[in-house]
Amino acid sequence: MTRFFANSQSQFVSSATVSFRIASALLKTTSEGMTNSFNLFLVLALPTLASAWFWDKPNIDANDPLEQTGPFSATKTPTDIAVSDADLMAEIFQPDIAASGDLKGFVLFAPGFGASFKMHDDHLSHLASHGYLTVGMDFESAGFANESFQDVKAQQVLEAIAVVQELDSSYASLPVIVAGHSNGGKISFCAASVDASNIIDGVIAMDPVNSGGGPCFLGDACFKCPVAPNVQSGQRGVLHQMNDNAPSLIFRSQPDWTTNPDEQFNAQCFFEGSDGSGLDGAPSPSLHCDMGGFSHAGYVPMMCSEQVQLTKRTMVAWLQENFEGTNRSEHLTGAVIQADIQSGYFDSVAFR
pLDDT in tens, 312-350: 999 999 999 999 999 999 999 999 999 999 988 899 999
Residues 6+ positions from 312 with CB-CB distance below 8 Å: 67, 122, 123, 126, 127
Handedness of CA 279, 5, 48, 67 (dihedral sign): negative
**What spatial distance separates the first Cα and last Cα of the chain, rounded to whole Å?**
5
pLDDT recorded at residue 218: 61
- The Cα 239–Cα 280 span in angstroms is 6
Average pLDDT, the chain: 82
pLDDT recorded at residue 148: 56
pLDDT recorded at residue 321: 98
Bigger pLDDT: 154 vs 14: 154
Mean pLDDT of all residues in 293-304: 81
pLDDT at 166 over 70: yes
Q: What share of the chain is helix, strand, coil (3-state, %, to 5)?
A: 35, 20, 45
* Residues forming beta bridges with residue 78, ordered by sequence position: 91
pLDDT recorded at residue 75: 95
Instruction: Give the model confidence (pLDDT) of 200-253 as tens digits.
Output: 999 999 999 998 766 566 667 778 778 999 988 999 999 999 999 899 999 999
pLDDT at 167 over 90: yes
pLDDT recorded at residue 134: 98
pLDDT recorded at residue 1: 65
Residues 6+ positions from 250 with CB-CB distance below 8 Å: 185, 205, 208, 267, 270, 271, 282, 286, 287, 288, 289
pLDDT recorded at residue 201: 98
pLDDT recorded at residue 2: 59
Within the chain, residue ranges assigned H as helices are 15-31, 36-52, 121-129, 150-165, 183-193, 268-272, 305-323, 329-332, 335-343
pLDDT recorded at residue 16: 35
- Of the chain, the percentage scoring pLDDT greater than 90 comes to 60
The rounded Cα 71 to chain-centroid distance in angstroms is 23
Q: In what order do the strands lie in the sheet with 248-252?
A: 2-5, 348-351, 286-290, 248-252, 202-206, 176-181, 105-110, 132-137, 86-95, 74-83
Domain that holds residue 272: 2-351
- Find the CATH number of the domain harbouring 122: 3.40.50.1820
- The Cα 304–Cα 52 span in angstroms is 7
pLDDT at 77 over 80: yes
pLDDT recorded at residue 70: 94
pLDDT recorded at residue 6: 45
pLDDT at 256 over 90: no
Mean pLDDT of all residues in 290-304: 84
Instruction: Give the model confidence (pLDDT) of 5-64 as tens digits.
Output: 443 333 323 333 333 333 344 333 333 334 334 444 444 444 444 444 444 444 567 789
The pTM (predicted TM-score) of the whole model is 0.84
Ramachandran angles phi, psi of 204, nearest 5°? -115, 120
Find the angle CA(123)-CA(160)-CA(236) to the nearest 5 degrees. Answer: 85
Instruction: Give the model confidence (pLDDT) of 94-139 as tens digits.
Output: 999 876 669 999 999 999 888 899 999 999 999 999 999 999 999 9
Domains held by the chain: number: 1
pLDDT recorded at residue 151: 84
Ramachandran angles phi, psi of 258, nearest 5°? -105, -60
**Strand 86-95 with 348-351, pairing:** unpaired
* Residue type at position 212: G
What's the length of the chain? 352
pLDDT recorded at residue 303: 59
**DSSP of 64-116:** -TTTS--S--EEEEEEEEEETTEEEEEEEEEE--SSGGG--EEEEEE--TT--
Mean pLDDT of all residues in 266-291: 96
Mean pLDDT of all residues in 65-70: 93
pLDDT recorded at residue 211: 82
SS3 134: strand
pLDDT recorded at residue 220: 73
Ramachandran angles phi, psi of 88, nearest 5°? -95, 130
Q: Range with the lowest mean pLDDT among 60-69, 129-138, 166-175, 262-271?
A: 60-69
- For 203, half-sphere exposure in the C-beta direction (CA atoms, 13 angstrom radius) is 39
pLDDT at 82 over 80: yes
Mean pLDDT of all residues in 296-308: 76
Bigger pLDDT: 251 vs 302: 251
Taking a C-beta distance cutoff of 8 angstroms, is the pair 241, 301 a contact?
no
